[in-house]
Structure 1
Amino acid sequence: MADVTLIDHPLVQHKLTLMRRKDTPTAVFRQLLREISTLMCYEITRDLNMTLEAIETPLTAMQAPVIAGKKLVFASILRAGNGLLEGMLDLVPSARVAHIGVYRDHDTLEAVEYYFKAPEDISERLVIVVDPMLATGNSSIAAIDQLKARGAKHIRFLCLLAAPEGIRHFTTAHPDVPVFTAAIDSHLNVNGYIVPGLGDAGDRMYGTK
């Protein structure tokens, strides 16, 4: 699909299979989510702009590559996005963090917004939005609507699983935002859950089901 990158690294796929198992304990699920998000972070940041900086090694002076521009922003769609956020911050601890409170109404499947907090200069930074699931797409679309309304111009979206229906809805609403995912599953069921999926990521991460 256009604007969708499938992250099919063997370690990512192996850890995702472990997470899909219904008998995976909460603590193990949470640890796997942290590990897989670190691996996926490598892929979504693969093409960051670089520049050269003069440094001294123990042997000599040299021009060495460093990431150019302002620090990244990781924007977590609460609450399940925080599971991906932690692993990404392990890899990029200097990143700024935004939190976007959006939940899905279980009757209408529409997104309901309740919280937003982000760096003031978000328009000058690359923003990576994280949420484990791209199901109907309503929550992620609403979150990115809020980011764009506050000036964000350079946005990418990272998820563990995506449904074809969600991808179509998302890319129609935000064709300028590339999607990175570890799997594109079969379909959504009548309740708006991804099939085969892995259940509700937030409930499995926090043991609240």
Structure 2
Amino acid sequence: MTDTPAHLTIVDHPLVQHKLTIMRDKGTSTAVFRQLLREISQLLAYEVTRNLPMTTTRIETPMQEMDAPTLDGKKLALISILRAGNGLLDGVLELIPSARVGFVGLYRDEETLQPVQYYFKVPEAMEDRLVIAVDPMLATGNSSVAAVDLLKKSGATNIIFLCLLASPEGVATMKAAHPDVPIVTAALDESLNEKGYIIPGLGDAGDRMFGTK
């Protein structure tokens, strides 16, 4: 796991990087892309949940009683930034099935590159939960900033942003707006093109996941 800079964590595990390479390939089918996204999301979730608070509970094994480690506090909240966020959400939920789930509906205006909100529904008691916001692409950062704005307005104070790919521009935009929100990603790519897509990237994650254009 590589830190570059302090608020950004790049998960450089060989399995993560190998799966990401296959996902980048334009010849990879929709079905394979979707499956790889689910698999890679679990590997990323493993890292993003590394520091969850722990306590102990008294149990009885077949051999004897013991104080065994267990997660502490309220169930964490997974927030999918629609629509592409659902691809990451599915994999993380398999790993943490007891998590509460919310959705932020945003789409990017192709002319202004600014986010437009169309849906927002999150769990209660957000202030007491670790909130993991998931979206495969941190491109311009505008939609991500808007989503985190909404999550903070709902009471969330402990937020991590989990993405598959990030651009330097998006990381800088997020840091400027929300320096208290760490970013975990599989790769920091080179730049954005004139249309706001990550280069070299993997195209539009939602289109590749759902087979749309």
Residue 156 (structure 2) pairs with residue 181 (structure 1): no
- TM-score, normalised to structure 1's length? 0.99
- What is aligned with 2:79? 75
- What is aligned with 1:128? 132
Q: CA deviation at 1:145?
A: 0.3
Q: CA deviation at 1:106?
A: 0.5
Residue 117 (structure 2) pairs with residue 104 (structure 1): no
- What is aligned with 1:155? 159
Q: CA deviation at 1:122?
A: 1.0
Residue 196 (structure 2) pairs with residue 202 (structure 1): no
Query: Which of 35, 55, 62 is 1:58 aligned to?
Result: 62
Q: CA deviation at 1:123?
A: 1.2
- What is aligned with 1:12? 16
User: Within 1, Cα distance between the matches of 2:123 and 2:49?
Assistant: 20
Where in structure 2 are there 5+ consecutive unaligned residues? none
User: Within 2, Cα distance between the matches of 1:153 and 1:37?
Assistant: 23
User: Within 2, Cα distance between the matches of 1:126 and 1:45?
Assistant: 9
Q: CA deviation at 1:158?
A: 0.2
The sequence identity of aligned pairs, in percent, is 66
Q: CA deviation at 1:2?
A: 2.5
Q: CA deviation at 1:59?
A: 0.4
Letter in 1 for 2:193: N
- What is aligned with 2:143? 139
RMSD, aligned α-carbons: 0.5
Per-residue CA distance 1:87-132 (angstroms, 9 max, x = gap): 0000000000010001110010001111000112111111000000
User: Within 2, Cα distance between the matches of 1:7 and 1:110?
Assistant: 28
Aligned residue for 1:142, secondary structure, equals: helix
Question: Which of structure 1's runs of 4+ aligned residues deviate more than 2 A?
Answer: none
Where in structure 1 are there 5+ consecutive unaligned residues? none
Letter in 2 for 1:27: A
Query: Which of 19, 22, 40 is 2:44 aligned to?
Result: 40
User: Within 2, Cα distance between the matches of 1:183 and 1:160?
Assistant: 7
